């Protein structure tokens, strides 16, 4: 069930503020905490380093490192503004979409919290090629006349997410 962490890590590491990962969470540490009492804060929970070396832990560490690289490389993920797309169509599919931007730089983050793939559409501020940073794909965003770019039928995998930015400004282009 480690893969269910992906959308939450993507959202955490691309959202505004300083991300906080606690004692091995980046590789799937899964201690349970008591609901109340001294055990919530003073209970010794040593990191189980064997999680770092198993298949799930390696994937999660790779994802966290990639997301931290995106955060370091693109200023909009450190100091930019955020806009949350509060749309009933997204909510019905258990999607969370928000954008990050600084001036002319724009990035879209879309995470799928459900156990099924979601097919959705989004209107971008401009048409063109968008680089999907976490899967190394290029998506073409079309425009109709003078309207902004429209991406129809984009697949957001279950328990995962996309981080998109214009390919022209991408350090990965």
Give the pLDDT confidence of 18-61 residue by residue, as tens digits: 887 766 666 666 667 777 877 766 666 677 777 778 887 788 88
Region for 145 from its dihedrals, namely left if φ exceeds 0, alpha if ψ lies in -120 to 50, beta otherwise: left
Q: Which is it for the CA torsion 164, 5, 17, 96, positive or negative? A: positive
* pLDDT surpassing 60 at residue 7: yes
- Domains within the chain, CATH numbers bracketed: 2-73 (no CATH), 80-169 (2.60.40.1180)
3-state secondary structure of 134: coil
Average pLDDT over residues 67-80: 90
Global pTM? 0.80
User: Which ranges of 1-147 would DSSP assign to H, the alpha helix?
Assistant: 6-14, 39-42, 50-53, 55-73, 88-92
């Amino acid at each position: 069930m480690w893969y269910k962490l992906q959308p939450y890590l993507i959202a955490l590491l691309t959202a505004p503020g300083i991300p906080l990962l606690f004692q091995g969470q980046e590789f799937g540490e899964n201690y349970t905490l008591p609901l109340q009492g001294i055990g919530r804060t003073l209970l010794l929970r040593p990191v189980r380093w064997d999680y770092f070396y198993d298949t799930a832990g390696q994937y999660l560490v790779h994802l966290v490192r990639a997301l931290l690289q995106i955060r370091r490389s693109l200023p909009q993920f450190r100091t930019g503004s955020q806009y949350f797309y509060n749309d009933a169509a997204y909510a019905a599919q258990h999607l969370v979409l928000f954008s990050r931007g600084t001036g002319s730089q724009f990035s879209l983050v879309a995470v799928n919290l459900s156990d099924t793939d979601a097919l959705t559409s989004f209107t971008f501020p401009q048409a063109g090629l968008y680089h999907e940073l976490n899967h190394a794909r290029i998506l073409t965003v079309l425009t109709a006349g003078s309207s902004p770019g429209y991406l129809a039928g984009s697949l957001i995998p279950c328990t995962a997410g996309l981080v998109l930015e214009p390919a022209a400004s991408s350090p990965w282009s």
